[in-house]
Structure 1
Amino acid sequence: MPANTPLPNGTQILQESARTTQTLQSVHLKLTADNLPTLPIESVDADVTNQPQGAGQAIGEAKVRTKPDAPFTDTKFLVVDKKMYAGDGTTYAPIGDAEKIYDPGIILDKDKGLANVIAQVQNPQVVDREQVNGINTVKVTGTIDSAVIDPIAPQIGKDGGTFPITLWIQDVAPPATSATALPSSAPSPGTGPNLVQALVKKDPGSVTVTLSDWGKPVHVTKPGS
């Protein structure tokens, strides 16, 4: 959008972005946890899909730990049928239930994922326009309840409360009317006011989620298939 275009309404842009994200079926995810050693993940870089619905799949690299007192380990991984597999990129072995370690597919869950996070931001304020990874975005600040963000960054919300959140949403013209928005049953083609980046702060650290390749097909083959 031109720099002199008035900033959009914060509530409206979040509503439109939540609708777009709710119909998104695949995306590339980069998640980084900084100075939050109690989380089971430190970083994730993966292609993610919520298909088949309810048993999303992912493939990429992560720094995770399988037990609370275990060290973080760099690994290539797959998530298929709610199971996580770790390996060298060629061969993989099962290491446990993804839900007990980290399931990236949750970010596209219609009820618990990023669409819900966007929709549940409290006191949204549009503060600026910025470029993120070459994409024109609208910067929105607000707060988010711990229970809402916890599925995205497991255990970040275990102590309750609310956290400051900043979202960078792709700066595109809003639909002429809400009737032009995609129906909830139609997958997003990857266009629209996509969430580009989100930053959640929890003293003394933070979690950053960066998205790209919205709607790009993701294919994951179950080891041994």
Structure 2
Amino acid sequence: MLPRRTLIGSLLLALVAGCTSSGGGGGDLPAGSELVTKAAAGMKSVTSTHFLIKVDGELPGVPVKDAEGDLNAEGESKGRAKIDQFGQLIEVEYVLVGQDLHFKGPTGGFTKLPAALAGQVYDPTAILDPDKGVARVLAEARDAKTVSSADGVSVVTATVPRDIVAGLVPGIDSDVASTFTVREDKLEKALFELPSGAKVTVELTDFNKPVTVTPPA
């Protein structure tokens, strides 16, 4: 038989462990549906952002492997991208302003093309488009579940219907398992994992900082 002092100590340890377990469990996490709804509303008010896009694997019809730049809600953007051209990665610069896409390859200067051609490669301005960008992706996410939440940052898993996510990430032909990292009412990171094994990551920073885009000289 255990001494009385040892028995009491064991009971106290068990009680403390039980309280700690229940206090840190999933029941205390904010609801995933509430988090993505709040972030969807918050992203609709974003006027500008810095973005980073990475593609791991193959997306049908999408040659972009990664891109980084700045954009505003008026549909203007500037930055750089790496494009797969005949099996080789080529880094390009771009300026999207007004009705024009200014495009510069590894050599030579900028070439001016119709802005509509941006969609044939990847149109980053879709990110802040309320009808097809991150705000709609968040609003239409299904089965949202919070997996962690601390210091104002929450990670939520969900499924996004293919017709919704395709507005943001072209080349997708099925529903997508997604992981969202949100801080307060803003989306900081979205990870889309396709059934084929390909992954697309979108990271957003510098919300609402002034972004001015002018045509290159």
TM-score range normalised by the length of the shorter chain: 0.7 to 0.9
C-alpha displacement at 1:136, in angstroms? 4.8
C-alpha displacement at 1:40, in angstroms? 2.7
Residues 120 and 82 of structure 1, relative CA distance in 2, 3 Å threshold: farther
Aligned residue type for 2:156: V
2:112 to 75, 94, 118: 94
1:47 to 70, 80, 84: 70
1:1-225 matches, cutoff 5 A: 6-38=28-60, 39-51=62-74, 56-64=75-83, 71-87=88-104, 91-96=109-114, 97-129=117-149, 136-155=152-171, 157=172, 159=173, 161-170=174-183, 172=184, 193-202=185-194, 203-224=196-217
Larger radius of gyration: 2
**26-35 vs 9-18, greater mean Cα deviation:** 9-18
Task: Report the Cα distance in structure 2 between the residues aligned to 1:19 and 1:207, rounded to whole angstroms.
Answer: 23
Runs (5+) with no aligned partner, structure 2: 1-22
C-alpha displacement at 1:64, in angstroms? 2.8
Task: Give the TM-score normalised by the residue count of structure 1.
Answer: 0.75
Task: Give the TM-score normalised by the residue count of structure 2.
Answer: 0.78
C-alpha displacement at 1:30, in angstroms? 0.3
Higher helix share: 2
Task: Report the Cα distance in structure 2 between the residues aligned to 1:154 and 1:40, rounded to whole angstroms.
Answer: 11
Q: Identity rate of aligned residues, in percent?
A: 26
* 8 Å Cα contact 1:31/1:43 also seen in 2: yes
* 8 Å Cα contact 1:196/1:211 also seen in 2: yes
Divergent runs of 4+, >4 A: 69-72, 88-91
Runs (5+) with no aligned partner, structure 1: 173-192
Supply the RMSD in Å over aligned alpha carbons.
2.6
